[in-house]
Structure formats: C-alpha cells, structure tokens
Structure 1
C-alpha cells in the first residue's frame, strides 16, 4: 500500500509539472550558504557535456545565478570545490538553493518540481532494505513514468542492471522526447551492443577494440599480462587526474611483475585527451572512441561514474572492481609478490591452496583479499566452499 501511495504521489507531481510552461531559456537560483569566504567561486557544470557553463562569486554567504540553457528540465552540478558538489535538476523558473543549515551537498532546493521528484525518489531508496528492492522500485518508477526525463536519466544508468530485454521494453514505451534526449541516446547505444548482461566479478570479461592515441585499433584481448586493469577516466575528470600520481606509483611498482593498465578515456576531444596523457605522464596503454559517456566499453561494463576500474586475471576472469590506490597496491602485493599460496586449516590439518586467480568472498558476498582469506582460514573458524565453475571460494563460519 505504501509503495502504491508513493508512486501515485509521483504521478500527481508529474501531472502538475506537465501543465507548466517552458518557453524561457533561462533559469535563476538564489542561494544561501554557510562558512564560505567572500569571493569563493562556485562553478556550474553540465554533466552531459562535462563543461562548466557558468560561475558565480559568493558574497556574505549568498549568490545569484542567472543561466541560459536550451533544454529543461536539466541536471546540473554546482561545485563548491573539487570534492564537494550538489547535483540538482533545474527548470526555467526562479529557484532557491539553501545550505545555510546543512552541508553544501545536502542543500535544500525549491522551485523545481523535477528536483523535488528526484529527491523524493532518492529518499525512498534510503528506506528500502536491500539493493534488490531498490532495483525493483526503480524499474516500477520508470515503467509508470515513461514521459518523465527522470525515467530517461535513470534508465541510462540502470539499463545495464535491468538487462537488454527489460530495458528494451521500458525504452519502447518512452515518449519521442525521452527517446531523443541525450539519456535516451545512451540507452539506445547500450541496446545496440546486443550483450545479454554486464559481466560481473567472477565472470569472463567481454572483449572490445578501440583506437589508441595514434589512431591504431587496440583490443583488450591483445594484452598479455597476469593482471590487467581496465581504468576508466577522462581528461576533464578532476578526481581521475588527482588519482593519477598514485596510479603511476602502483604501476611503476608492479609493471615488471606482469601487470598492465589498459586506460579507457571517456573524452570527446582528442586533443584534450592526449594533452592529459602527456601532462600526467601516463606511460601505459590508452584507448578511446571519443564518444564521451557513450563510450562503448563504459556501456559494456556499466560505468556510471569515473574514476572506475576493473581488474582481470590471466584467465580472463573479472576478480575485482574499483580498486583505488592503496587497495590496488595491497591486492597486487598479495597476488603478485606473495610466495605463500598454501594454508593449513587448523583442526583438520588439511592444506588449501590459495590460487592467484581465485575470488574469495565471505558469507555476505563481500570480496576478500588473499591475505584476508588466509587469516580467516588460519583462525580455524571458517570452512572454504568452492565454486569451481566461477572460480569463487566462499568462507563459511563454522556452526
């Protein structure tokens, strides 16, 4: 009953929204902040183009934005600094931004029905108990709101989770406007891939080919290494660029130990991509199809934000995802440098071999490093249960 009530509330909001005119090409935001120095510059970014489209100076913890756009509603990002931002859906009307009693990224937005709807949806997700419930609720929302831009946006992210068949059904019910939106084009590109589902940890990778900086086609399968890291990044991605020095350190440490990086850029501008490679001294393999967020590999591997990465072993099995700096270093140290691959189970005296490629999990499905698996086995409190087909070992606690 509660679920139907919330969906009905969404529908009421959508009906109200459809009655509002959208003739102007400008929106305005009157903002209140706290603890920001006079002269602090806020940057407004369009995540679809990855370009900054406006900026404003904060005075006495207030600011006013008056910005031209061609399409509404639109999702934008207001950056306070390189690590703090507020995502908001703007409409062509007067809006307010208030973080005077909250953190900047939790600012209260008024004046945009689309933003209110997105916030309600986000809050609903927080109430749900499991990821599976969130996926089902998201699917139900998109199914019941085929004409709303949020459905197009959300499907562009969730299509890789729903799979091709279900995503195709949802997409076919979309309005012409939603199908032709940038989000609709992302969904369409994903459907064109004709893959059954996004490969997960414990499953074989899906091969792809793209051009390198010289315009030469390069395949993932052409790389011969014990471990291959597919690193998703872009020249415009601030967190990616900040992460690069640490990634260089890890690469230099393990490149002679059968480790390679295959970097996939979500850039659209080739010149910016090449300049970033040179400026950051990224001496590993690089490819890009220069399609930005519609990058083929990012669609295959359901990359919704960057930086992101996928670690593949010599057997072509995905063994980890989103290993940043210290975690990547620790994982490779244990896998490439560790010489102890056999462990004795305390009470039985049985020896268990810790394979370089095996994926260890606890009973809740959390990924364990080889070192963590060894320590748990040594304790005598856990028993290994192997799925040879998927090359996964689950450590189950003794009863």
Structure 2
C-alpha cells in the first residue's frame, strides 16, 4: 500500500512539473476577410510605428483568392494596423490580444468589421470626430464661403475666422470628453493622441495613467507617455527650448537672440485661412508694441517655398519669419507637438510660456494687458 501511495505521489508531482514547465501560450490575434469585387488580388498589411509622424512599416502582402477571401494569422498585439486595398482605400484596425477580426463586404465602400471591440471604438471615435468637425468647424467655413460670394467686409470674414479657431478648440474638447466617457483603456486611444494638445493635458495625463495600469508593458503605453512628456514641455509655466531656423534668405535666426519682453511664437502656413486672416491682427500688435518690447517669431509649416514667400509679401509679415519648408515634418513642429494651425505660444524674456493658443480679439486683449 505504501509503495502504491508513493507511486501516485510521484505521479502527481511529475504532472505539476510538466504543466509548470510547459511553454505558456502566446496570445494571438488574426484578421480574415471576404470582400467581393476587388480590382486587385492582394492586400498590404502594415503596422503603425509612430502615429504623430504617420510612420508605418509594411509587414506583408497577402493574396486574396478569387472569391475575395484572405487570412492573416499570428499578429503581434496589442497594436494599430493598416490594411490597404487596391492602393486606394486604407482601413485602420486597433487589435488587442486574442481578437479575431473579420471583415466582410460586397465592395470597399460597404465593409463591416467585427471581432474587435477596440476597432469598434476607434470607428465610433472617427464617426464622432467627423460629425463634430462638420458641426463646429466646416459649418463656419461654409458660412465664410457664402459671405465671400456676397463680398462681405474683411472685418466680418476675420470675425468668422476667429470663430472657426474657437470652434476647433471646442471640437478638441468634445473629442477629449468622448475618450474619457467612451474609450476606457482601449488601445484605440493611441490613434486619438495625434490631436492632443496642452490645453487638455490634465485629462490626457489621467487617461494615460489609467491606460498604463491596464497595459503596463505595452509599446503603446510608452508612446502615450512620450506624448504626455512632449505636451508638458509646451504648457503654461514651462521654459521653451531655443529655436534656430533659416529665413527666406537662408540666414539662421535664433529665438533666444530676438526675444523681447514678451514674444509670440507663431506657427502658421500659407494654406491655413485662419492663419492668413490673423496676419492683420499680428501686424497691428507688432506695430503698436514692438517699441515696448513685443516680438513675433513666425514659423511657417509650408512645404512649398514659393507659397510661403508669396504669403509673407501679401500679408506683410515683416517680423522675423523662418521655415525649413518641411510642413508638419519640420523638426521644431515635432518638438513642440504641433498638430494643427494656427498654434502659438507667448513667452516672457526668460522663455517661460505665459499663454498659448490666444487668437483674434482674445490675443489683442491679452497683449494689451501685458503692456
């Protein structure tokens, strides 16, 4: 009897050791699809590397059979992926561990995506974003267009441009509330970070803190923390880093060398109507307060030099203006976390930010108080 009991004891111990030593199953996710009427018989899979700089890496080209079916297995998750069909339509997927994503449709304009709550949240966010943008921003642009046709006064157009900027900031607040109320700690939060700004930093900090508690070792957590750290550098009270960029003649101008008692760092571009409308207010402020120590350091995010030069002349931007003509890929724009225009910062003589994103009459009144 003793030998029999020992045998079963050893057998139980051996079973425990085998179970504990066996390799743990790695969480896997997959994408499958059936899409009819495709022009080409393949789809390109890529992974988002940096949402801010819009960099991706192509992982694979997957064949689609004659019936429109394709399958992608063993995805590295959690991650944000892009699927590009026919080199035309790209859909973005937020895929977490152990999700089986299924895509169906009779064509690329009628796709139904299931199997990933994170992708569903990302799609819901995008739908809300478009609705909010149409309601708050595009409606004002339409009104501006109508007033231009009726040859309304410049003052009326300028007022509407200021309203457009104000409404865009309201739009960003609405997006932030949507994330707080609807998205929890979903990895779909990462793509939304491209529109985060310093004004809503407290909310984003809490969002990332909660996200980290759920995804402590995820690469996405690290990326979101870097976004927060970047925004902290350009919040009120922070000291800005020096900027050294070329003028239209190629002469390098440093921010530290032209700083006044107060300096407006103005990020703008020729293709940005609100930026162009604001030129008149900037000219008034510059002419009025330059002798008292007010400076402007204009940074164009144009990608075509001639358009920048034409705008400088037409808008009479006579204060220091610089550009590397790299658009949003301008290193300083990345360093300052610029994702929308116009964006500005007012700094004091020590380089401390005293205000940000002041526009229109609000900007005029703020500068008046400063001096």
> How does the TM-score come out when normalised to structure 1?
0.45
Q: Which has the higher contact order (CA 8 A, sep 6+)?
A: 2
Would you tell me which structure has more helix in proportion to its own residues? 2
**Bigger CA radius of gyration:** 2
> How does the TM-score come out when normalised to structure 2?
0.49
